[in-house]
Chain A
Amino acid sequence: MADMASSANLEGYQPYKKPVFRRLMQRTIIPWLFILPILAIHILVVAIPSISALYYSMTDWKGIGEANFVGLANFKRLFTDDPVFLKALKNNFIWLAFFLTIPFGLALTAASLLAQVKRGAMFYRLVFFLPYIMPSVVTANIWQNLLSPRRGLGAQFTASPVGEQLVKLGMPDLGIPFLGRTETVLLSIAFIDNWHYWGFLTILFLVAMQNVPLELYDAAKIDGANRWQQFLNVTLPGIRPTLLFMLMMTAIWSFLVFEYVWILTQGGPAGASEVLGTYVYKQAFQRFDTGYAAAMGLTMSSFAGLIILIFIVLRKRGWDI
């Protein structure tokens, strides 16, 4: 200590300053410089706009000109004075019900059958995954044609000899414009989106099932469990974390859906397939009701946030999620 104090001139100070600075450089500054570029981009694209969305949602801004602060008026309008929003929200719930059942049923069936198969397993995996990598615009176009009233699958089947017999037995004519009728349009779009989605789920479940210890199945067989009982008591508990996580993700996505609906019908006919995503898009980029659309975007996002919250709470309560 005495030495340090006595040599407190520039030359004596230097050897002490340098290591401290170099340590700071090596341990903190340089490592943070590695992180900084991507963090800066992310803050610019996601964080700053997310925060300003809170502000915009409380204004009556129309995209240009002046913005007036209106408090929670936009949110009040959403839930009390906007039948289109409520209709879209209802469609999102129908979408949610569809996607929490149909793709999961398909994928659980396919994955559990595939897990027991050795020959051709790679081929099945490859084929089931293929629709997932198709761009949405292409998938939409393929199915637009396959569901068309005269040349589509339904029309061709109805016109076939088997179809003609079935029509006589009471099967309805399937040569209808599935995407053009208010009663079929939403489920048709969900069907198309599901065609692209179920194979992805299948592969996820398959990977999870392959990690279930084989001894558990052997033990179940010794206890005399049949295949269905093995599925219920061994497979499902074994893949539970993946299953619940994907249920949560799928539920979140159900409130954010946009692409397939926009490409196929833009919410039509007569608003029958309107979902929150298409409605926000119209309000923001076609009607320029910017403040109102921001409030809607915030509301949609809080539905997604609510689902995450439910899962966190269940987890805290001791559910193994």
Chain B
Amino acid sequence: MLKQRREAPAIFNHIILSLLVVFALLPIMVLFFNSVKSNAEIGSNPLGPPRELHFENFKTAWERGKFSRTMRNSVVLVIGTVTSVLVLGGLAAYSLARLKPPGSDGFMLYMLVAATIPLWLYLIPLFILWRSLNLLNNPLGLILIYTATNSPLAIFLLRSFLISIPRELEDAAFMDGANKLQTFFRIILPLAWTGFLTVGLVVGLGVWSEFQIALIFVQLPEFYPVTTSYFAFASRFGRDWALTSAAAVMMIAPVIIFFLALQRRFVDGLTAGSVKS
């Protein structure tokens, strides 16, 4: 009797939650279904599972969407941004967590205020500045912007990770004659790597999916990352549901693989910026 009374609300919960699962998952499933259908089949069966598998959709989409080029462009942006955020942001975070030079509180305050400045405020002058510096249609131009926009969150997260590392280990390294830079790379980095991995994943995902800045700062197709390239592709082949679905699947495949493999770090990292402790 008691058990039944406890089970009843749980079943109610599972029913509602399952409906929400359908809401979240169905669109993604339809995308995967349609990526392997022929267009004729999509006409008669737009939402259900495929009857025949047309894997050649991926090859066609890869070639027409110029994926070998756009994927390379995006990988350059992701690696460039993640590296610079982790190295430069990590150094700054280390300085804030351990060395605390005079005036570093002012730097923290600057980053805190800067984190609230919307892109729309500085977008237009930044575009003009980048044009005069020849940084439009230039991977370096995007990497600099992404590094800047990601740096406040990265610095605060990394700083809190670094503070949690026992100080004695660094003191021991200093005693052995290591300088600050060596200590950072040899002692701190290996110990704080989970923090760095979390920040790297969040930043990497953000850059891979980023659309607005790429749309504005890259206008030549040969420098398009996957997002703006897919946008142009979907506008051109919008009626070809099979082809655009196959292209979308190729674009999200790396994201989903990383997410499933490292879901905890993703969720922790993506929610860390918003949860106040």
Q: Which residues does A use to contact B, with CB under 8 Å?
A: 27-28, 30-32, 34-35, 37-39, 41-42, 44-50, 52-53, 56, 63, 106, 109-110, 113-114, 116-117, 119-120, 124-139, 141-146, 151-153, 156, 195, 199-200, 203-204, 207-208, 227, 241-242, 245-246, 249, 252, 256, 258-259, 262-263, 276-277, 280-281, 284-285, 290, 293-294, 297-298, 300-301, 304-305, 308
Contacts and interface: CB of A to CB of B under 8 A. Distances in A.
B274 interface: yes
B148 A41 contact: yes
A68 B91 CA distance: 43
Contacts, number: 265
B89 A129 contact: no
Contacts of B120: 256, 276-277, 280, 297, 300-301
Contact of B17 (A47, A113, A132, A208): A113
A34 B124 contact: no
A117 B241 CA distance: 38
Given A52-B125, A141-B244, A204-B275, A134 B28 contact: yes
B162 to A, nearest CB: 12
Interface size class on chain B is: 35 or more
Contact of B118 (A45, A49, A117, A256): A256
A290 to B, nearest CB: 6
Contacts of B180: 30-31, 34
Interface stretch (B100-108, B164-172, B192-200): B100-108
Nearest to B145: A45
Interface of B: 9-10, 13-14, 16-17, 20-21, 23-25, 27-28, 30-31, 34, 42-43, 46-47, 84, 88-89, 91-92, 94-96, 99-104, 107, 110-111, 114, 116-129, 144-145, 147-149, 151, 155, 180, 205, 208-209, 211-212, 215-216, 226-228, 230-231, 234, 238, 241, 244-245, 248, 251-252, 255-256, 259-260, 263, 266-267, 270-271, 274-276
B275 A208 contact: yes
A284 B128 CA distance: 11
A277 B212 CA distance: 10
A53 B125 contact: yes
Majority secondary structure of chain B interface residues (helix, strand, loop or mixed): helix
Contact of A110 (B20, B94, B101, B256): B20
Given A126-B263, A134-B252, A256-B120, A42 B114 contact: yes
Contacts of A143: 27
A207 B271 contact: yes
Contacts of A262: 212, 215
26 contacts: A30-B99, A37-B92, A38-B155, A41-B88, A48-B125, A49-B125, A53-B122, A116-B13, A120-B17, A126-B260, A128-B20, A136-B211, A138-B31, A141-B234, A142-B28, A144-B238, A156-B46, A195-B23, A195-B27, A245-B275, A276-B120, A277-B120, A285-B127, A290-B128, A297-B124, A301-B120
A42 B151 contact: yes
B46 A48 contact: no
A133 B102 contact: no
Contact of A151 (B27, B42, B128, B228): B42
Contacts of B275: 204, 207-208, 242, 245
Q: Give the interface SS of chain A, mostly helix, strand, loop or mixed.
A: helix
A45 B152 CA distance: 13
A45 B148 contact: yes
B121 A53 contact: yes
B107 A129 contact: no
A45 B119 CA distance: 10
Given A46-B122, A284-B127, A34 B92 contact: yes
Given A31-B99, A246-B274, A116 B118 contact: no
B137 to A, nearest CB: 14
